[in-house]
Structure 1
Amino acid sequence: MLVRFNEINSLLSNKDYSFESFLDYDKILIEKSILLKKISKCDYFFNELTDILDFYNLCKSDQDLDLLNNLLFNFKKIESEFLDFEKEIIFISDRDHMDAFLEINSGSGGVDAQDWCSILLKMYTSWVNKNGFSYIIDAISYGDISGIKNVSIRIIGKYAFGFLKGESGVHRLVRKSPFDSNNKRHTSFSSVFVYPILECDSSVKIFDCDLKIETFRSSGAGGQHVNTTDSAVRMTHLPTKLVVQCQSERSQHKNKAQALKQLHSKLKEYYFLEEKKNKEACEKNKLSISWGNQIRSYFFDKCIIKDLRTNLEIYNVDLVLNGYLDPFIYSLFYFK
């Protein structure tokens, strides 16, 4: 942040540099103003915490409990302000504040992969609940023996996409399979794809001739009506091969409308990544669910979970699977 601020100052003070347009010049001035406010805020936190530390050392020697309690109150106030400010620093994209779709698909590994898919669903919904978000399961396809083949959920809350966008990728599980009578070690894969819920507008056009729409009966729990009529909808966009499905509503009409909205968001994200010519990001939803495309490995026997992008390791599998994802989420922000 400070480096960028100094770069802008050098650019503005360089008499030999000419901007292509007044619009470019205005953008630079706006960016400088925003950075200056953030730097000033950092100075504020530094000064406040320095004062609290100085007073703490003074109170500790005098054993003044009233002043210590007052300092604790001030510290919690500063901590709350800093957590809000941290979001401003981390979430710089105009999409980060949005709600999110999260899709999980089982990959290679058979019934173990489907079981792994259901474990990941529990992990993410636990994180959602712990962090004050809410979710709706739009579609779920259960495995023939155990687990789930795929699931799509809506996560609702400010910065849902910003927090979870780094979870997109392949998650690898290594464990002794509970489905193997010989108790052999198996490797399974599931892919996760996260994209923002975007408003429908004219920037993305979806033509009826480009859609393949299928209806089917919802699987799993959901009430007598849901499971006895073809209310669930699967929608395929033929030019891009993107697929969405919805079965959260009792009405086929409502499921179709929600699937269309989800497809609109997915297409918009697809085109957004394509426009930026970010090859790696564009291929996230096309990667094969196998060895070479992992972002995180989960070793149940060794009780280790390792993020392959930041090399962060956590030695408590149960804690992470119960929704303790913040170390992985935040480490990726700061690693970048």
Structure 2
Amino acid sequence: MADFDFSQEINALHATYDTIAKAIDLDDLQQRIKQLEQEASAPGLWDDPDHAQQVTSKLSAAESQLKRLTTVASRIADVETLVELGREEADQETLAEAQTEIQAVHQTLADIEIQTLLDGEYDERSAVVTIRSGAGGVDAADWAQMLLRMYLRWAERHGYKAKVMDTSYAEEAGIKSATFQVDAPYAYGRLSVEGGTHRLVRISPFDNQSRRQTSFAAVEVVPLVEPTDHIDIPDTDIRVDTYMSSGPGGQGVNTTYSAVRITHLPTGIVVTMQDERSQIQNRAAAMSVLQSRLLVIRHEEEARKKKELAGDIKASWGDQMRSYVLHPYQMVKDLRTGYETSQTQAVFDGDIDGFIDAGIRWRHQQRKQEEA
């Protein structure tokens, strides 16, 4: 207790809070809440369910952010009072309680700080994630399915709405690819740091000689397009094919040509969709994902031009961004940030916030270095 400097720690809490409040701009946040409340109470809002969902979701996120800030400010004031009381009474139990609370507030502020770093053009949008199996045969297909489960469990842990839009099953086990959408404020900003190649090392459950196998899967993350994005796709630039849905299903699966495959001829991008029951719904969903990918390409081209003007800058993202090792030891390690954990099962069950937060901080530092 003697080594714990309460005054210094409380000053640090105030400094961190002030930095976050300035970055978020509390006045602007409160103004946005008022505007969203007006939109949410407008007559006929639910005539357009998609727009209504966006408005209510943004309002809920903004109110939650404001509540977290006001709550943490109150906690800082309370812990100051607790320290004063403990010192006056020379009460070691009270001071121990204050020390525990100070450490907890530090962690809360660190969590809030992450959101202030999500300042990219599309960071606050929902995300569309595609996972593809890579080198490694049936193990890679199984690995891709493990990643799909990991991200869906992550979304579930946070109460985010996640919907699998398309799945291509492998012949023996696992999946060739899958696309899913996560609807939540800043879903893209958070999940975008997961884009890249993920490597799994384990004893193969599909090898009768129980040999160690290395498998790869690619994760692609794009922001969900909005009507204001103006991504025009001429009909002459796409080829649309229809086919019967495949894989597990109920009534109607494998009996109608409801699945849709859209090929964007200029870029070669292919999008398939078979989750919806009707061909019209699948085509609309596929077009939305295609627009999202074209939006990212346009954004990358703009960024590339800026980099060319700024001079030669090394690429920030390597092909292999994270390793998941189950044999001969247990370890998940991010090769960009250095963040690691030996709790591999927890990671596969969706406990990946540590990796995501470290990735966001790493990306922010990369951007600052590029700007410098």
TM-score w.r.t. the length of structure 1 is 0.76
Counterpart CA distance in 2 for 1:112 and 1:192 is 16
Counterpart CA distance in 2 for 1:39 and 1:262 is 30
Residue 219 of structure 1, CA deviation:
2.0
Alignment of 1:200-215 (within 5 A): 200-201=227-228, 203-215=230-242
Question: Of 293, 298, 304, which residue of structure 1 is paired with 2:319?
Answer: 293
Counterpart CA distance in 2 for 1:325 and 1:237 is 34
Cα distance change of structure 1 residues 325 and 39 upon mapping to structure 2, 3 Å threshold: closer
Deviates more, 1:121-130 or 1:92-101: 92-101
Q: Which amino acid aligns with 2:189?
A: G
- 1:329 aligned to 2:356? yes
Q: Deviations over 1:263-299 (max 9, x none)?
A: 111111111111110799xxxxxxxxxxx71000111
Alignment check: 8 A CA contact 1:56 1:68 kept = no
Structure-2 residue corresponding to 1:155: 182
Question: Of 225, 228, 233, which residue of structure 1 is paired with 2:255?
Answer: 228
Unaligned ranges ≥5, structure 1: 1-33, 281-291
Cα distance change of structure 1 residues 304 and 85 upon mapping to structure 2, 3 Å threshold: closer
Unaligned ranges ≥5, structure 2: 1-18, 27-68, 308-317, 366-372
Residue 312 of structure 1, CA deviation:
1.4
Structure-1 residue corresponding to 2:22: 37
Q: Percent identity?
A: 38
Structure-1 residue corresponding to 2:83: 54
Counterpart CA distance in 2 for 1:264 and 1:246 is 14
Counterpart CA distance in 1 for 2:359 and 2:182 is 20
Q: Which amino acid aligns with 2:245?
A: S
Cα distance change of structure 1 residues 189 and 226 upon mapping to structure 2, 3 Å threshold: same
Cα distance change of structure 1 residues 176 and 68 upon mapping to structure 2, 3 Å threshold: closer
Q: Deviations over 1:6-34 (max 9, x none)?
A: xxxxxxxxxxxxxxxxxxxxxxxxxxxx9
What is the total number of aligned residue pairs between the two structures?
Answer: 289
Structure-2 residue corresponding to 1:20: none
Cα distance change of structure 1 residues 259 and 40 upon mapping to structure 2, 3 Å threshold: closer
**SS at 1:275 equivalent:** helix
Question: Of 315, 332, 357, which residue of structure 2 is paired with 1:305?
Answer: 332
Residue 262 of structure 1, CA deviation:
1.3
Counterpart CA distance in 1 for 2:262 and 2:183 is 22
Counterpart CA distance in 1 for 2:213 and 2:151 is 23
Alignment check: 8 A CA contact 1:200 1:264 kept = no
Question: Of 210, 222, 243, which residue of structure 1 is paired with 2:270?
Answer: 243
- 1:187 aligned to 2:178? no
Q: Which amino acid aligns with 1:262?
A: V
Q: Which amino acid aligns with 1:318?
A: Q
Alignment check: 8 A CA contact 1:52 1:71 kept = no
User: Which structure has more helix as a fraction of its residues?
Assistant: 2
Residue 94 of structure 1, CA deviation:
3.0
TM-score w.r.t. the length of structure 2 is 0.69
Cα distance change of structure 1 residues 40 and 190 upon mapping to structure 2, 3 Å threshold: closer
Counterpart CA distance in 1 for 2:175 and 2:205 is 16
